[in-house]
Structure 1
Amino acid sequence: MRKLLLWGCGAFLSLVAQAQDPHFSQFFSSPLTLNPAFTGKFFGTYRIAGNYRNQWPGINNAFTTATASIDFQIMQNKMQRGDTWGVGFMGFNDNSSNGAVQFNYGSFSTAYHKSLDEDGMHQIGLGFQGTYANMFINTTNLNFEDQLTTAGFTRVSSEIFNNTTLKSKYLDLNAGLLYNGSTNENNNFYFGISMYHINRPRQSFTGAEYALKPRTNIHAGAYFPLSTSATLHLSGSQSFQAQASQTIIGGAIQLNATPDQLNPTSLYIGAWMRMKDAIIPYIGIEFNNIRIGATYDYNTSSLRTASMNRGGIEVSLIYIRRPNTDRPVNCPKF
């Protein structure tokens, strides 16, 4: 029985290893998980970002994902005009099965952005990210057939790993390229490509070993004014991993309540679509250099019968500490 359970866990991990990486519907609000080349690419002295996602909240914590990051620019007084060197740190947690299976990641990233003109209106950036990953299964949270009674999983089984915790760890390498451009101080557009698991790290578990498949992400975005008090933001992302792919496109309108201020109070209303899967309404508010966003995935795929059209609740927060200067820097806005 014990060998059978070990084989079952190994098979489960094989499916996990071949599935897509954890992702956010608000990919545009999670720069360091989208592309390492976004490190340090913002107008400010430092940036703090956080995201939380609860997939299928009607099921008891089936999948929950959270990340927090900080990045900043270094040696700015030694950089050429328009150049930027960024450094960042990120923590990432992904739980499934009500915490029975947990992935924890710690990342360090750095990126250099080189100006392509004298005014810094066009830049190209190269970024790298190293990640330490730790995975474990808390066997005390697992239930098996021989524990089932008419009152639920109440019977104690001596075959359930003796309350042990099964662990695996590895190092991961990611990289990305980013082009960023502007034609004036009121618009911005970018295009990037990133690749994760370049070194194809291996997860060793219960005597078996699984190589993580590389993931490639192509993404683009832009914003431009519609009027003195309204700005349109557009973005899209296409990712590939093994036999899986995902496409998200959409946008939001930023309504400025105080358009004459450098950091206006704004309301964001829009929607994104995960093709063949979900419609994702979005609402956000921005004030005092803080932007808070919320989305809800309305499932439209063949899973909608089982999920009753319910998807994932997601919230994001970004805070950027503005520098002591009136000269804005054109950057992608998250």
Structure 2
Amino acid sequence: MNQIVKFSTCLAIILIVALGGFAQDLHFSQFFNSPLTTNPANTGFIPDGNYRIGVNYRDQWASIPVPYRTMSAFGDFQLFREQLVYGWVGVGGVLLRDAAGSGNLISTKGYASIAYHQLLGESSLLSLGFNAGSAGKRVDITKLTFGDQWNGKFFDSHIPTGEPITQSSVNYFDLQAGMNYAYFPTDNIYVNAGFSVQHINTPRETFYAGNNEVPRRYIGFLNASLKASDKVILNPAAYYATQVGAHEFMLGANVAYNLSGDGAQQLYGGIYYRGNDAAIFLVGYQLNNIKMMFNYDITTSGLSAANNRRGAYEIGVVYTGLYTNRAFSNAKRATICPSF
């Protein structure tokens, strides 16, 4: 009974936050495989290629009757590589969809992104990017029950509720901005740091009467690729996000192992930790231009008593390509990331 009470309380909090307009944003444990949602300055910032497309899928809390599922698809590519000697432009777009809980709370978002990347000498790069688009949410109110519908034994949907819900859907314009800095002093070392602000325009998002706004979300990250040998590349990373008093911090690393000798086949393994939330175990495989990664989040917070530590699993697939004609005036521009 105690576990049921804890679990019901967690679900109630999530529902109140979602309907009240201060919902936390969608996120992926594989933030490095969701570049355009992490930072719009990542648009066209492709260290080992010229264009890429990718998909992400996250299934969270599978132990409850209605899991939370998040999906995204993105693509970006580089422009004016030949015309701009010391820089280039990146353009792209991303689509997201999230289905949450028994109320079938659906979030759908679509953004277009643009970024400019400027080389600073031979060993560093500065990037500035923006994205803008439309976001919407809808909920099936008929599937929800509230505290004033408790009849003493169970929640009865036939009892009228006094909740002041005025609409079942909401749409708004959304705007993000970010910047990145990359440092690559040798062919074996690559370091990248970035900072972004989401919901710059603090749009209105609520199913209730009033003028509740989506608060700004601030994201910072630091990652690196360090070539230890012709067989091993180490990829450490850190990620931090904060929004309306909620904080998310991740720290960890994955290792790429050269299976084929020429880098055409690579095996990945890694571990990350999200503070006060989950331990994240990752495996992956790369065949030529296609990289596939799978991770499982094991809950370490107090919620583990309710979900039996069954946190989430996530799949990320990214295809990275090179343009046919790569006659760059600066060889550093061909690739700025350690490779086999």
Normalization by structure 2: what TM-score?
0.84
The 5 Å alignment of 1:236-315 reads: 236-261=238-263, 264-315=264-315
Asked whether the 8 Å contact 1:101–1:135 carries over to 2, the reply is: yes
* Alpha-carbon distance in 1 for matches of 2:23, 2:308: 23
Using the TM superposition, give the Cα deviation of residue 76 of structure 1 relative to its aligned residue in structure 2, in angstroms: 2.1
Residue in 1 that maps onto 2:8: none
Using the TM superposition, give the Cα deviation of residue 17 of structure 1 relative to its aligned residue in structure 2, in angstroms: 2.8
The 5 Å alignment of 1:184-199 reads: 184-199=186-201
Change in 2 beyond 3 A, CA 1:16/1:156 = closer
Picking from 332, 335, 340, the partner of 1:329 is 335
Deviates more, 1:26-35 or 1:252-261: 252-261
Q: CA RMSD in A?
A: 2.8
User: Does residue 90 of structure 2 align to residue 90 of structure 1?
Assistant: no
Using the TM superposition, give the Cα deviation of residue 300 of structure 1 relative to its aligned residue in structure 2, in angstroms: 1.1
Deviates more, 1:210-219 or 1:196-205: 196-205
- Structure 1 portions without partners, runs of 5+: 1-7
Picking from 2, 22, 25, the partner of 1:21 is 25
Amino acid at match of 2:318: I
CA offsets per residue over residues 208-236 of structure 1, 9 Å max, x none? 32111111011000011121111100111
Is the strand fraction higher in 1 or 2?
A: 1
User: Does residue 40 of structure 2 align to residue 36 of structure 1?
Assistant: yes
Residue in 1 that maps onto 2:222: 220
* Alpha-carbon distance in 1 for matches of 2:173, 2:302: 36
Amino acid at match of 1:220: L
Amino acid at match of 2:70: T
The 5 Å alignment of 1:3-82 reads: 12=16, 17-42=21-46, 43-81=48-86
Asked whether the 8 Å contact 2:188–2:338 carries over to 1, the reply is: no
Using the TM superposition, give the Cα deviation of residue 78 of structure 1 relative to its aligned residue in structure 2, in angstroms: 1.4
Residue in 1 that maps onto 2:183: 181
* Alpha-carbon distance in 1 for matches of 2:157, 2:186: 68
CA offsets per residue over residues 222-270 of structure 1, 9 Å max, x none? 0111211111001110111111111100001111012334xx2100011
Partner of 2:260: helix, strand, or coil? coil
Change in 2 beyond 3 A, CA 1:52/1:183 = same
* Alpha-carbon distance in 2 for matches of 1:201, 1:176: 18
Using the TM superposition, give the Cα deviation of residue 310 of structure 1 relative to its aligned residue in structure 2, in angstroms: 1.3
Residue in 1 that maps onto 2:173: 171
Partner of 2:215: helix, strand, or coil? coil
Picking from 202, 205, 215, the partner of 2:204 is 202
Q: How many residues align?
A: 316
Partner of 1:72: helix, strand, or coil? strand
* Alpha-carbon distance in 1 for matches of 2:184, 2:66: 42
Using the TM superposition, give the Cα deviation of residue 132 of structure 1 relative to its aligned residue in structure 2, in angstroms: 0.6
CA offsets per residue over residues 280-310 of structure 1, 9 Å max, x none? 0000100120111111111111211112111
CA offsets per residue over residues 165-210 of structure 1, 9 Å max, x none? 7111111111001001111223211011011011111114332321
Residue in 2 that maps onto 1:4: none
Amino acid at match of 1:329: T
The 5 Å alignment of 1:116-135 reads: 116-117=120-121, 119=122, 121-135=123-137
* Alpha-carbon distance in 2 for matches of 1:197, 1:313: 27
CA offsets per residue over residues 69-112 of structure 1, 9 Å max, x none? 0111122221124x121001110111111461111101011100
User: Does residue 141 of structure 2 align to residue 139 of structure 1?
Assistant: yes
Asked whether the 8 Å contact 1:136–1:168 carries over to 2, the reply is: yes
* Alpha-carbon distance in 2 for matches of 1:65, 1:225: 33
Partner of 1:200: helix, strand, or coil? coil
- Structure 2 portions without partners, runs of 5+: 1-11
* Alpha-carbon distance in 1 for matches of 2:262, 2:200: 46
* Alpha-carbon distance in 2 for matches of 1:206, 1:16: 7
Percent of counterpart pairs with the same letter?
32
Change in 2 beyond 3 A, CA 1:22/1:104 = same
* Alpha-carbon distance in 2 for matches of 1:94, 1:39: 22
